[in-house]
Structure 1
Amino acid sequence: MIPGAGGAGWYWHLVAERLHARGDEVVAPDLPADDPAAGVPRYVEVALAALGDRRDVVVVGQSLGGPTATEIARTRPVRRLVLTNAMIPAVGENPGDWWTASGHEEAKEAAIRAAGREDAGFDEAWEFLHDVPADVAAAGAEHQREQTDGPFRDGWSLPAWPDVPVTVVVGRDDRFFPADFQVRLARERAGVEPVVIPGGHLLALANPDGLAEALINAL
């Protein structure tokens, strides 16, 4: 399970508890998000080192973890790739170009207007934490690292789309990657109809039961 910005494997802990309860093994590594020299290739190295020689793997990527998870699925045999509220990459596209090439800026601005808000810049509470329980959000602070721009300027781009089954899980209430935007990317880039479940951008913290169920169904 690949975390998003900040690189905290802790992000997955509530979902991991639910998967452990049914006998699944979960590997959720911390990534070197605070290292400006580390980009997607380094994130892949760290994740694969944590994975070891395990086989019959489902690789899951959240948000910024999308490109890393997709590259893992391209380079190592896996059973399935699952992307949750993810930056779904396009072949030949650098993550630094994703924001413009995907149409994210326009989609987010439209969602902000639809919510009756003025765009006053990034608002972590409104965009990320609006449906995360306060105690969970507070507990997560110590696990996060400062996300550098390493993945956005290291020059990596996806060489080819992985030849594996893909599931895309979309948070219906995501304010950072609006749901209709994600649905379009799932169809255009991954060629799949996404699974839409309740929850905002941090699905694993806001709706761990729903996300665990979606992952189990994807197995």
Structure 2
Amino acid sequence: MGTYVLIHGGFHDGSAWNTVVARLEKRGHTALAPTLTGRGKNVDPTVGLDQCSQSVVEHILTRDLTAVVLVGHSVGATVICKVAEAIPERIRRLVFYAGVVPRDGESIYDGYPPALRLIADQQFADSSDGTITVPFEIWRDSFMSDAAPDLASWAYQYLWPEPCRTFQDRVDLRKFHALQTPRTFLLGADDCTMPGGWHPQMTGRVGQFRLVQMPGGHELMFSNPHGLADNLIDAAED
């Protein structure tokens, strides 16, 4: 059976994966979902992506995990790229679930289409503490477009402010692109958070990959966690 390390996206913490973890464990796998350093209830706007990535490296090394299926959701996909650079010998496969990955030398923000950049520009300008939040209307209508309004409202209470640095830090991915680590891109077919679509706009940034698609949107850990877990197992197959 497999060992899964699940990395949350922006505005989340590790608890977003709780039901997915339980499903993976029920199917006989080991699953861990750490909260990135400086994120969640301990949000720290000075903590950048390099420190987030290092916290995952330490999580894997201190538990002596090997043959890891490393899953990154949304901007967590950028984190798993850097983790794979640091400890490629411990990673069996990378799975990018709705993964947001910048081009080499750019920030996540740099790679956004114009519509998303306009939203981000306003949020950065309005921020007084170096963090931003997801407006509920965007969460309901875009992030959880496949969910009933009451489920979107319930899930919204589990979000946290996210440091602006997550989106502004430039990322060197030269080592990542030289890796031979197998990778899969998992997409919700109804995910409308990326104007212009995910494939090939975002999928094309991770090198050679296998594409797995399932019904649903950007936050399947809330709207269909069992289905997400089952598709992660499929995505991890060699």
Tell me if both proteins adopt one fold, taking TM over 0.5 as the criterion. Answer: yes
Q: Residues 96-155 of structure 1: CA distance to partner in whole angstroms, max 9, x if unpaired?
A: 3121xxxx336999xxxxxxxxxxxx7221011232456654554454320111223334
Q: Tell me the equivalent position of 1:118.
A: none
Q: Tell me the equivalent position of 1:96.
A: 109
Secondary structure of the corresponding residue to residue 96 of structure 2: strand
Distance in 1 between residues matched to 2:12 and 2:106, nearest whole Å: 21
1:145 corresponds to which of 160, 167, 170: 160
The 5-angstrom pairing of residues 57-206 of structure 1 reads 57-76=68-87, 77=89, 78-99=91-112, 104-105=113-114, 123-132=138-147, 137-160=152-175, 161=177, 162-177=179-194, 180-187=197-204, 189-206=206-223
RMSD, matched Cα: 2.7
2:15 corresponds to which of 10, 15, 20: 10
Q: Structure 1 regions of 5+ residues with no counterpart?
A: 110-121
Secondary structure of the corresponding residue to residue 30 of structure 1: coil
1:185 positional shift = 2.8
Distance in 1 between residues matched to 2:25 and 2:196, nearest whole Å: 29
Q: Tell me the equivalent position of 2:65.
A: 54
Q: Tell me the equivalent position of 1:37.
A: 46
TM-score between both structures, scaled by the size of structure 1: 0.81
Q: Which has the higher strand share?
A: 2
Which 10-residue stretch deviates more, 57-66 or 87-96?
87-96
Which 10-residue stretch deviates more, 4-13 or 140-149?
140-149
Q: Residues 66-120 of structure 1: CA distance to partner in whole angstroms, max 9, x if unpaired?
A: 1001111222120000001110333222223121xxxx336999xxxxxxxxxxx
TM-score between both structures, scaled by the size of structure 2: 0.75
| Aligned residues between the structures | 204
Q: Structure 2 regions of 5+ residues with no counterpart?
A: 1-5, 119-136
1:4 positional shift = 0.6
1:208 corresponds to which of 218, 221, 225: 225
